[in-house]
Amino acid sequence: MADPPKWQAAADDLLAAAKDCEEAVTAIHANGSRRLEESWTDYLGEIARNRISDVTGKLEEVAVLLRGAVTALDTLEDAARIAQGQASSAISAGAVAGLRLEGDILVVPEGHHDPDTALDDCNRYNTLIKDAIDAANRADQEVADALRKLSINVDTATLEDATAQQSAAVTDALDAIRETLPQGQPPDVVEAWWNSLSVERREQLMLAVPVELHELEGIPDSVKNELEGSNGYNAVAAVEFAREHADDTSIDIFENNCAHFVSTTLAAAGLDPKGDMTTDSDGWNRSRTAGIDFDPPGPGSLQGLSYTDTWFNAEKQKNL
């Protein structure tokens, strides 16, 4: 039987271990290799420093991998609680409707005073129970895949390898959260599922999978409006655009395109430009020639003049 509190306890232990590794790395950097470099300058000191650097690197890798495992276990705990809550809510509603639980399904008992209505209730609540069980199983598989990806040899792997595996594990963890959504279910089932969640679980889902949640028919309009936000642009559309164009190099025209990507995403999500000219110091916009590759990027290029500084300069964008 699933026991989410134990998974949470394991995640807490792994997080504590990750923090211990990170603190050890900081202490070694501050008190170990630097002082050795100052006080032990011969070849033996260099050997010692290299050994300390090697140990420090492994500790960093372990910390990264442990945090990946924490994310996976936290996700499994969340998925299990969501599934348990959904199934429990359906069973409780079925009991109120006069249904009887047999194994893991509800049935209409003989002699029910309104068998036709009871049968409709039975089908609806059994759909919720089955969906909860299926979602939990799919989430379990996603988390298992995430944990397997974190099983690497720190003696041969690099910090970059560990970071890449952690990123892959986090991606699988998000997929596990998506598996808890009643995708493909009719609006009334989705509505019943949403109502079965605690306020905390709803908030977690709104943060983790806003796009998928927004697409579900049966989610209240008030929730969808909250997901879209009220900051002058559609936050759901911004997430969609960012995900779809994360690897799209065709929009990269500057030496550093981070701020440019943010601005392009916000514009695609409906944020109105500010100012009329790209030379406005307090504006945020681009001209009609923006994005056209008519000259090489770089300081003083015509391409740069197609955008305000706040569009592609991170520091000026932050201070706008």
Mean pLDDT confidence for 189-212: 89
Burial label, 219 (beta-carbon count in 10 A; 0-12, 13-18, 19+): buried
125-134 per-residue burial string, b: 16 or more CB within 10 A, e: under 16: bbbbbebbee
DSSP element (H, E) containing 290: none
What pLDDT is attached to residue 45?
65
What does the pLDDT look like over 39-68, one tens digit per residue?
A: 666 667 677 667 777 788 888 888 888 888
Asked if 273 contacts 284 with a C-beta cutoff of 8 angstroms, the reply is yes
Residues 242, 244, 246: CA angle, nearest 5 degrees: 60
What does the pLDDT look like over 63-89, one tens digit per residue?
A: 888 888 888 888 888 888 888 888 888
DSSP element (H, E) containing 151: none
Mean pLDDT confidence for 214-225: 95
Residue where the block lists tokens 């420090």: 56
Does residue 237 have a pLDDT over 60? yes
Mean pLDDT confidence for 191-197: 86
Does residue 211 have a pLDDT over 70? yes
Give me the helix-helix angle, 199-208 and 221-228, nearest 10°.
Answer: 50
CA distance 320 to 304: 18
Asked if 83 contacts 147 with a C-beta cutoff of 8 angstroms, the reply is no
Q: For residue 107, what are its two tokens? A: 């049935």
Residue where the block lists tokens 């690497």: 152
What does the pLDDT look like over 105-158, one tens digit per residue?
A: 999 999 999 999 999 999 988 988 888 888 888 888 878 888 887 877 877 788
